[in-house]
Amino acid sequence: MKRSGVIGTVSGCLAAAAVFLMPGPGVFAAEPVKVGIVLPLTGSEANFGEIEKQSFEMAVEEINAKGGVKGAPIKLIIEDDQSKPDVGRNAIEKLIQQDKVALVGGGYSSSVTAAMAGVAINKSFPLLINTGSADNITEPSSYTPSGQMATKKKKQMDEEKDPARKAELKAEMDALKAKSGEEVASIMPRYSIFRLNPPASEYADGIEGFLKEVVKPATAVILYENSLFGTSSASNVEERFKRLGIKILIKEGYDKTTLDFKPILSRVKQENPDIIYMVSYSNDAALLMNHSMELKLNPKLFVGGGAGFTLPEFYESAGKAANKVISATLWHQSLPHPGARQYFDNFVKRYKKDTEYHGAEAYAAMYVIADALKRAKSLEPVDVKKALAATDMMTVFGPVKFVSEGKKVNQNKMDTYVVQWLGGKLEVIWPKKSATAKYAYPVDWAKERK
C-alpha cells in the first residue's frame, strides 16, 4: 500500500528482533546467503506476523536441508516492524546497509510495505512483497512526486463532505495522476518491487460471483479500518457494488484503536442492509461480529474482505458470532497446488494450530526467493532483480510469474476464493469447482446466536 512520504526522510527507531536459521556445523562449505524479512511481530498485527514468520522459518529449514542456495545455507534475518511504517522503513534500511542481505522479503500491512518499498526503490534493491496489498504499491507512478501529491489529494477528497469542493479535489487529483504518468520514466531504472499476492482490488473477485449468483443483495453497508489496505479495499468494493446495482446505505471507516463498534452498528441496524461487508484485521473483525450479535443485527449475510476473517484467532475470539460468516481468501489447503496440503499438515503438526492464506503466502515467498537466488548470476542487487523478474514457477500458493498490466509492474496474477466458517472450520464455498462444502445460505442468525 502506498502513501506519501514513502521516499522521504528516514526517522524513528530500529526494530530489533533477529532470527538466524542455519544448518548444523559442517553441512555447508560456503558462507550463508543472508535474506532479510520484515514482519509485524509486535503491535496490532502481530498475529499475522507470527504465522508468516513461522512459515518463512519452516520453508527455509526445508530449503537448507536440501542443499540451500548454490551450496550455501540461507540465513534469515527477521526484523519486527511493530506494525508501524517508520519502524518498517528503518528495518529495511538496516537490512540493506548494515546486514548486507541479498534480498528483502515480507511486508504485511500496506502502510508499512509502502514505506519499505520507497526505500527499496531509492536504493534499487530487490523487495519481494508477500502480503501488503494496496493497489498502488506495484504502481511506479505512486512513487513519483506528482503521484504522492495525488495520494494526499485523494485522502482530502475522501474526507470532504461538500460536493462542490469534492469535485474540485477530484479534478486536481486527476491532473496530478496524469502528470505522475509522465514522471514514471525517472523511477523505472530504480524500480525493484515484486509482489506475490494480488492487489486489494482483486480480493473480492470471488465474492462478487457469489453475490451475483446466490445472494443477489439490493443494499449493503461497507465498514473498514481506515488504513491504506482498508480504504483501498473499501473503495474497490464500493465500485463493484455500484456496478452490480447494490445500493450502499453506509460506507464508513473506523480507527484501528476502536474497541466499541456498537454506536456505528446501531446505525447500521436502523438501515437494515442486505449485506454487511467489513475490511478488518484480527481484533476488530472479532469485535464487529461480537457486537453485531449483541445488537441482534440480521442482514442476509456478513461478509469479510479477507485479512482478519480467515485467521484461526478470529474464530477463537468471536466464537459462535463467527459461524456462517463468509470471507474472501487467496488460498486454502484443499486447492490443487502441489504441496499445499503437505504444507498445511506440516504446519499443524509443528505449531499445533491451523494455518491459512497469510502463512501460505510467506511459505511460497521463501521458495520464490530461493529460486531467484539460485538462478541469479551473482548476489548483486541488479542480478537478483533480473532473476526475480524471470520467475516462472509453481508454489503451494499457486503459479508465480511477475507481469506488467495496466499501471502495475512486477505483479503476480492469481484467482481468489470464498470461504465460510462452518462448525469451526474454514471451508471453501465458492467457486463451486473448488468448494469443499456446500455454502450455508440463507442464514437464520437468531438460531446461530442461541
Three-state DSSP state, 40: coil
Nearest to 434 by CA among 331, 352, 354: 331
Predicted local confidence at residue 30, as pLDDT: 85
Instruction: Give Dmax over CA atoms of the chain in angstroms.
Output: 71
Question: CA-CA distance, 435 to 326, in Å (whole number)?
Answer: 13
Contacts of 25 (CB under 8 A, 6+ apart): none
Q: How many residues does the chain have?
A: 450
Question: CA-CA distance, 383 to 372, in Å (whole number)?
Answer: 9
Positions of the chain with pLDDT lower than 70, given as ranges: 1-29
Question: CA-CA distance, 450 to 447, in Å (whole number)?
Answer: 6
Predicted local confidence at residue 161, as pLDDT: 84
Predicted local confidence at residue 29, as pLDDT: 65
Three-state DSSP state, 109: coil
Question: CA-CA distance, 367 to 371, in Å (whole number)?
Answer: 6
Answer yes or no: are the C-beta atoms of 301 and 326 closer than 8 Å. yes
The DSSP H or E segment spanning 253 is strand 247-254
Give the position of cell 508465480: 400
Question: CA-CA distance, 78 to 54, in Å (whole number)?
Answer: 11
Predicted local confidence at residue 7, as pLDDT: 35
Give the position of cell 526494530: 15
The x, y and z cell numbers of residue 403, run together, are: 507481469
Sequence-ordered alpha helix ranges (H) in 160-211: 163-183, 205-210
Strand 301-304 to 326-329 pairing: parallel
Nearest to 119 by CA among 101, 151, 99, 94: 94
Residue type present at position 211? L
The x, y and z cell numbers of residue 382, run together, are: 541488479
Q: What residues pair up with 405 in beta bridges, in sequence order?
A: 408
Predicted local confidence at residue 10, as pLDDT: 35
172: number of Cβ within 10 Å: 16
Three-state DSSP state, 421: strand
The x, y and z cell numbers of residue 174, run together, are: 486527476
Predicted local confidence at residue 12, as pLDDT: 38
Give the position of cell 529449514: 61
